[in-house]
Amino acid sequence: MPHFTLFSRSLIFLVMVSAFAGSVFFSQEAGASSWNKDLVYLFKTLPVQESGRIKPLDTAARFMLLRMNGKRTVSVNQGGKNISLSATEWLLDCLFHPEAAREYAHFSVDSYELITAIGLTPHGKKRDRYSYSELEPALDTLFALAHEVSARPENIRSLLDEQLIALANNVLLFDELTHFMDFARLRFDVAKSALLTLLFPEDHEVPLSKVVEKLPDQLKSLVDQAADMDEERKREIAKDLEAVFQRLDEVSASGQMLALFPPLSREEKEWMTPAKYLESAFIGMPADTVSGDIALFETLADAAPDSGAFVSAVKRLHGRITQEAQARGEYKHIPLEVHFYDARYLFFSQWLFVLSFFLMAFSWTRSPDSRLARVLSFSILPPLILLGISITLRCIIRGRPPVTTLYETVLFTTFVAVAIGFFLEFISKNKIAVSVSALLGTIGMFFAWRYEASEGVDTMPAVIAVLDTNFWLATHVTTIIAGYGAGLFAAALAHVYFVLHLPLWKEKDSAAMQTLATSIYGVMAFSLVFTLIGTILGGVWAAQSWGRFWGWDPKENGALMIVLWILAVLHARRGSYIKARGTAVSALILGMIVVFAWWGVNALGVGLHSYGFTTGIWKSLGVFWIVETFFIAAAIGISVLFPRKEMPVQKGSAQP
């Protein structure tokens, strides 16, 4: 029987756990579909403007599907096989195979009461997914109920009301997608229009592209000839034109969704949807250019996706749009953003934090000085690096500092808290800091994932005007969020401190508690430095933006509360008014204050410079504060019932 060293056993253990984790990771990947991978990549990297930002079509598709389905892939049955479609593949099916897409169960419904309310029979599960075909018989009822409840003030809407509105909006979104290509499927009956008969004497029907190619010049010609026409002829032409343009208006309504075409002028910022692009042919854009691009869409609508004509049209359309976007300087980060989402850095970081947490839990069965424990302490590094890479790539893609949205505050706060714990482990060497880091990393990444899924919107939006200053974003906002991360880490250490007060721990753990108390003190001081600097910089920014240093804005007051509380705690400790236990209790209260400053003031829905307003979280915040209040009361009770002898303070250190 072979003999394994401790290091070998450790390595084997890590490989086995990693293999298990890998099976979890890769089981989430989208499976094969009928779409060619190279073709899908061309569509993925097609630039589109949405909410003021130029992004890949893939990103737009991901968040459409996330909002509708609750995840970025959809499971479908194709050819008798269950496969998983990526967001872009799903979008392509919506555009080019709308009948098939109507059978996909991609409408996530959180409550069967909603299905019952619109007159349908729910599936067996409370939360399930439904297809458009299943919902179609009840759409009139759904829209009527959604219209009724949307008229109510938000503060009195029930959860079912919100779900009705969300489902109605998702159905409308899907309906727009499946009808987006209608303009490319349009054919004009030449015989029904004297004007079209004049333009196309040898054709029975013509596509939209041909009409757009010839109609603008014909209009100019008719204007020039108008003076020589009699009134009857003018009325005939006017009637013909009215019929043609009415048809154009009807079909152009379908192409209102995806702004795929850059404007003609480099000074203009707003891209054009196919509908707007069609209009541009009559107000200055070369008609042959517009006609040629519309003809490409017509080829896509008519040809089979696996045909040479379809592939050629996609390549030409991609080349045409990307060339314009590159000339405008708006394409350079599109491939990088596609890579960012395809690589799934945040997903892997999330689950590697989970793995690290379990590895650290296992390490507590070994001595802190053992080689295995030391190796496992580094398990926090891979997810931390992946999170750092994610934040860095997001900065490059947006050309912004790390924090401009509430979602980004979650990522950056998690990164700061975990990094503090990792480096603190080199000082304490007792596995507590790195274990807490693994737990906070897990919680932070799951919270970020849940927040993104619940909001269902792009997490890299265009920056609002008041935040559109990179210098202040890189200083004021980033430093305050770093202070948040440190404050929350101090609160987490304080929880561990009071758990160690329980009688199940040995008296020899007092040394660990003393190290823990010193760590709490140091991390609170770290939080003070960054929060104070950030608050001062925020005041300077306010003076430059609004003419006053302090506006008593809720966000400013939240940061000030953190600063004043930590100052009071540190002074009380230096003055020996509180010691280790008092500092730990204060750190618990600090955690409650940080959460209020971070999320509570955003839920107020007021203020000039917030990182983003959030509704519907008061209940969760209330539960958190109540639980923390009970924990503080229990912590004080434990300290009184089970007092611990404190280790002597090292010379030169702060009095605990």
| The pLDDT of residue 640 | 80
Tell me, yes or no, whether 598 lies in a domain.
yes
pLDDT at 16: 45
pLDDT at 28: 44
| Domain annotation covers residue 587 | yes
pTM of the model as a whole: 0.87
Q: How many domains does the chain have?
A: 1
Establish if 381 belongs to a structural domain.
yes
* CA distances in angstroms from 230 to 196, 219, 227, 234, 236, listed in the order given: 20, 17, 8, 6, 10
Q: Which residues contact 93 (CB under 8 A, 6 or more apart)?
A: 85, 100, 101, 104
Half-sphere exposure of 64 (CA within 13 A, CB side): 24
Does residue 39 lie within any of the structural domains? no
Phi, psi of 68 (to 5 degrees): -85, -40
Domain hosting 453: range is 348-641
Whether residue 284 is contained in a domain is answered as: no
Q: What is the pLDDT of residues 36-87, one digit of tens each?
A: 999 999 999 999 999 889 999 999 999 999 999 999 999 988 777 889 999 9
Residue 286 within a domain? no
Residues in the chain, pLDDT under 70: 1-33, 224, 226-228, 368, 464-470, 473, 504-510, 549-553, 605-616, 644-656
- Sign of dihedral through CA atoms 521, 525, 531, 532? positive
Amino acid at 154: E
Look up tokens 């209608």; give the residue. 182
pLDDT of residue 264: 84
Within a domain: residue 326?
no
In a domain, 467, yes or no: yes
pLDDT tens-digit map of 338-347: 999 999 999 9
Expressed in angstroms, the distance from the first to the final Cα of the chain is 54
